[in-house]
């Protein structure tokens, strides 16, 4: 019953999206440019039907209705309610329905909030956005229907992958999707204003809110995924340069560049074409991200068992969208008279945009090259983390320095004699700090020292910015957070230490003046899994003893075992113990890690997003 209701809601939603396409393009074609009440009506109903359909799917999951194939594949009666609900988007079909839900919600918000803009621009934006929505409706109905009927009805489902039963991962996809989907609205709006020729500071101000919203959600979404990888995968790293991670990072680079370009557009009415190009690429990258993750083309450790036919649909759809976007751009864009002085805030923002594009292309090549090689030469490869580190880290130095300089320069034109006493004192302070940090580490790289000092330079400059009145609060917060992020990632990378060893109950080992004791092991039983809980003690010289209780869980449905790390966090470092069962005689593989400044990576990412939030709410 729920199946049919959900499916027919989707069909009705599809019909209203077709209606909205017609209603939005007709006034533009006959040049009346009138927005009729009907179009609001269609967009609202379209949203209503998608939300209905989503509700039906959710209730199928909650009531464990196994006549639904998606529910059967991904749920189980024994599963806690929270994970039954998150199971809705923990799979391909449901996650696409969520995409669609956010798409239709965003277009609704757009029509309601854009009333002061001219009608042609609004109609065109609705038109482009509805085409994307229509594509997604078709995609879901034709290739990934979440309401496939299953007969005979099984009595029990196959269960959700226990690795995915985790609070951070449960909310990670919806948040990331809001970020992705927001870029689609930026895309439609950019195309609409290219045709309507209203790319100006008013438009920049208006679209900036959408760009920032997507950026905030994308930032948080990437961070959540990274936190999950950190504690759930039990490897202790937080970023693996895995293709699936890369595809979420690429639109982030693009959006960050776009935010800054829009500042220039808003203040100086410059960089119109560049903003449009960035808007188009951001969306293309988000879409291809979905495509790459969902098609199973990527040879990634994240790979989901999936059907390549779906990938083909997204690929064709994406290709059509991008080609028409490029066509529209070339047909309608005008030459702008560039008026940029090379020593001004504008110019430095452009330079940092280029750096962003460079980082983006490194990640892009590293992600896409293996796919090409596999298609062309039938050779399977993967690109290791050193590739990215080598190509990105050196360029961070000029990037950070430009970032510092750009906040100190005025718009339009400035002179070069701005280096004053304050800068010199900040520079000395940061050199001293760098020397201190390098002394306590045994790695004395010249390179690391320059990098750390430039991030400290940025850090103190951003702190100093808080005293200034003419800088926006959002910029102060975000730039400070960004410098903290870079710093904590660097220090974390340099000072992390770990030991891997096999231990039995009662063993103890020494590691860097610390003693790790494996005290006891207990067997317990929970609702849907059995668990082995280890008790470890970490004795550190001059500090209190830490007790750890990492777990090995053996789930009933499906039969999988996972290791749950136990992490003790304080302001300066994380201590991390994870263990896994090696054989039946009670030998365990134990991994202890010390990760300095880990918590600051998460804190600064959140503060970074908060900075974006301030940019939306404050003028």
Partner 1 sequence: MTGKKVKFRFAFLTLIFLSLVLIVFLIIKSLEENVIYFKSPSEIKNLSELPKKKIRVGGMVKKSSVEINLDKINFIITDFKNEIKVSYSGPVPNLFTEEKGAVAEGFLKDREFFQATKILAKHDENYMPPEVKEALEK
Which residues are near partner 1 by CB under 8 A?
161, 163, 233-235, 299, 301-305, 358, 361-362, 365-366, 369, 379-384, 386-387, 390-391, 500, 502, 558, 560-563, 578, 580, 582-583, 587, 589, 591
CB nearer to partner 1: pick between 170 and 362: 362
Cα angle, residue 69 at apex, residues 167 and 300 outer, rounded to 5° = 55
Q: Which of 276, 253, 425, 270 is nearest to 344 (CA)?
A: 270
Rounded CA-CA distance 562/548 in Å is: 17
Provide the minimum distance between the beta carbon of 376 and partner 1 in the complex, in angstroms, as a whole number. 14
Provide the minimum distance between the beta carbon of 124 and partner 1 in the complex, in angstroms, as a whole number. 35
Beta bridge partners of 536: 518, 548
CB nearer to partner 1: pick between 305 and 440: 305
**CA–centroid distance for 371 within its chain:** 22
CB nearer to partner 1: pick between 386 and 542: 386
CB nearer to partner 1: pick between 302 and 422: 302
Provide the minimum distance between the beta carbon of 531 and partner 1 in the complex, in angstroms, as a whole number. 13
Provide the minimum distance between the beta carbon of 509 and partner 1 in the complex, in angstroms, as a whole number. 12
Provide the minimum distance between the beta carbon of 498 and partner 1 in the complex, in angstroms, as a whole number. 10
CB nearer to partner 1: pick between 380 and 619: 380
Provide the minimum distance between the beta carbon of 593 and partner 1 in the complex, in angstroms, as a whole number. 10
Got the DSSP string for 51-77? HHHHHHHHHHHHTT-TTBHHHHHH--T
Provide the minimum distance between the beta carbon of 263 and partner 1 in the complex, in angstroms, as a whole number. 23
CB nearer to partner 1: pick between 152 and 386: 386
**Burial per residue of 84-119, b for 16 or more beta-carbon CB atoms within 10 angstroms, e otherwise:** bebbbbbbbbbbbbbbbbbbbebbbebbeeeeebee
CB nearer to partner 1: pick between 342 and 572: 342
CB nearer to partner 1: pick between 498 and 570: 498
Provide the minimum distance between the beta carbon of 303 and partner 1 in the complex, in angstroms, as a whole number. 6
Rounded CA-CA distance 188/127 in Å is: 8
Q: Which of 225, 246, 232, 256 is nearest to 293 (CA)?
A: 246
Rounded CA-CA distance 41/20 in Å is: 9
CB nearer to partner 1: pick between 466 and 549: 549
User: Which structure tokens are listed for 585?
Assistant: 């005689």
CB nearer to partner 1: pick between 211 and 362: 362
Provide the minimum distance between the beta carbon of 65 and partner 1 in the complex, in angstroms, as a whole number. 22
Rounded CA-CA distance 582/578 in Å is: 13
Q: Which of 242, 228, 132, 237 is nearest to 171 (CA)?
A: 228
CB nearer to partner 1: pick between 202 and 308: 308
User: Which structure tokens are listed for 239?
Assistant: 């970023």
Provide the minimum distance between the beta carbon of 327 and partner 1 in the complex, in angstroms, as a whole number. 26
End-to-end CA distance of the chain: 50
Whether the Cβ atoms of residue 598 and residue 453 lie closer than 8 Å to each other: no
Q: Which of 431, 434, 454 is nearest to 443 (CA)?
A: 434
Provide the minimum distance between the beta carbon of 386 and partner 1 in the complex, in angstroms, as a whole number. 5
Q: Count CB-CB contacts under 10 A for residue 319.
A: 12
Q: Which of 69, 95, 87 is nearest to 290 (CA)?
A: 95
User: Which structure tokens are listed for 17?
Assistant: 């999206």
User: Which structure tokens are listed for 498?
Assistant: 């770990």
CA dihedral 96, 101, 105, 108 (to 10 degrees): 90
Provide the minimum distance between the beta carbon of 391 and partner 1 in the complex, in angstroms, as a whole number. 6
Q: Count CB-CB contacts under 10 A for residue 533.
A: 16
Whether the Cβ atoms of residue 403 and residue 409 lie closer than 8 Å to each other: no
CB nearer to partner 1: pick between 333 and 561: 561
Q: Which of 178, 109, 114 is nearest to 609 (CA)?
A: 178
């Amino acid at each position: 019953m729920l199946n049919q209701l959900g499916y027919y809601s989707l069909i009705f939603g599809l019909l209203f999206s077709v209606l909205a396409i017609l209603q939005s393009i007709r006034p533009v074609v006959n040049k009346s440019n009138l927005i009729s009440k009907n179009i609001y009506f269609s967009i609202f109903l379209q949203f209503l039907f998608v939300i209905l359909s989503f509700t039906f799917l959710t209730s199928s999951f909650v009531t464990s209705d196994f006549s639904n194939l998606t529910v059967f594949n991904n749920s189980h009666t024994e599963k806690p309610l929270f994970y039954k609900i998150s199971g809705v988007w923990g799979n391909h079909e449901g996650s696409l329905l969520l995409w669609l839900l956010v798409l239709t919600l965003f277009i609704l918000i757009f029509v309601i909030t854009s009333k002061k803009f001219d009608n042609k621009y609004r109609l065109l934006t609705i038109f482009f956005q509805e085409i994307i929505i229509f594509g997604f409706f078709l995609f879901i109905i034709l290739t990934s229907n979440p309401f496939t009927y299953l007969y005979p009805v099984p009595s029990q489902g196959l269960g959700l992958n226990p690795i995915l039963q985790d609070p951070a991962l449960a909310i990670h996809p919806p948040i990331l999707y809001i970020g992705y989907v927001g870029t689609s609205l930026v895309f439609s709006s950019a195309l609409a204003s290219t045709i309507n020729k209203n790319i100006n500071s008013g438009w920049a101000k208006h679209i900036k809110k959408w760009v920032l919203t997507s950026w905030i959600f994308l930032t948080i979404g990437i961070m959540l995924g990274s936190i999950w990888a950190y504690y759930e995968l039990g490897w202790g790293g937080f970023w693996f340069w895995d293709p699936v991670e890369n595809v979420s990072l690429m639109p982030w680079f693009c959006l960050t560049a776009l935010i800054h370009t829009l500042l220039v557009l808003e203040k100086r009415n410059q960089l119109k074409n560049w903003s449009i190009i960035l808007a188009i690429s951001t969306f293309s990258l988000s879409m291809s991200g979905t495509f790459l993750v969902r098609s199973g083309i990527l040879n990634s450790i994240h790979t989901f068992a999936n059907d390549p036919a779906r990938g083909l649909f997204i690929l064709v759809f994406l290709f059509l969208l991008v080609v028409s976007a490029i066509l529209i751009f070339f047909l309608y864009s005008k030459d702008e008279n560039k008026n940029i002085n090379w020593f001004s805030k504008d110019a430095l923002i452009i330079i940092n945009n280029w750096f962003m594009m460079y980082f983006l292309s490194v990640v892009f090549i590293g992600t896409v090259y293996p796919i090409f090689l596999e298609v062309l030469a039938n050779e399977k490869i993967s690109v290791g983390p050193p590739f990215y580190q080598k190509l990105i880290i050196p360029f961070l130095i000029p990037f950070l320095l430009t970032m510092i300089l750009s906040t100190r320069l005025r718009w339009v034109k400035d002179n070069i004699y701005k280096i004053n006493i304050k800068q010199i004192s900040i520079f000395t302070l940061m050199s001293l700090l760098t020397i201190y940090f390098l002394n306590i580490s045994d790695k004395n790289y010249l390179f690391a020292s320059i990098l750390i000092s430039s991030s400290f330079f940025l850090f103190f400059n951003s702190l100093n910015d808080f005293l200034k009145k003419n800088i926006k609060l959002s910029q102060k917060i975000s730039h400070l957070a960004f410098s903290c992020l870079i710093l904590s990632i660097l220090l974390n990378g340099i000072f992390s230490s770990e030991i891997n060893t096999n231990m039995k109950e009662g063993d103890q080992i020494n590691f860097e003046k610390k003693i790790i004791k494996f005290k006891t092991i207990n067997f317990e039983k929970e609702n849907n899994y059995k668990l082995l809980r280890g008790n470890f003690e970490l004795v550190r010289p001059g500090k209190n003893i830490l007790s750890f209780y990492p777990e090995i869980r053996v789930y009933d449905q499906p039969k999988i075992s996972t290791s749950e790390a136990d992490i003790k966090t304080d302001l300066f470092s994380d201590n991390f113990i994870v263990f896994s069962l090696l054989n039946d005689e009670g030998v365990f593989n134990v991994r202890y890690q010390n990760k300095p400044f880990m918590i600051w990576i998460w804190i600064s990412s959140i503060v970074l997003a908060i900075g974006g939030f301030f940019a939306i709410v404050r003028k």
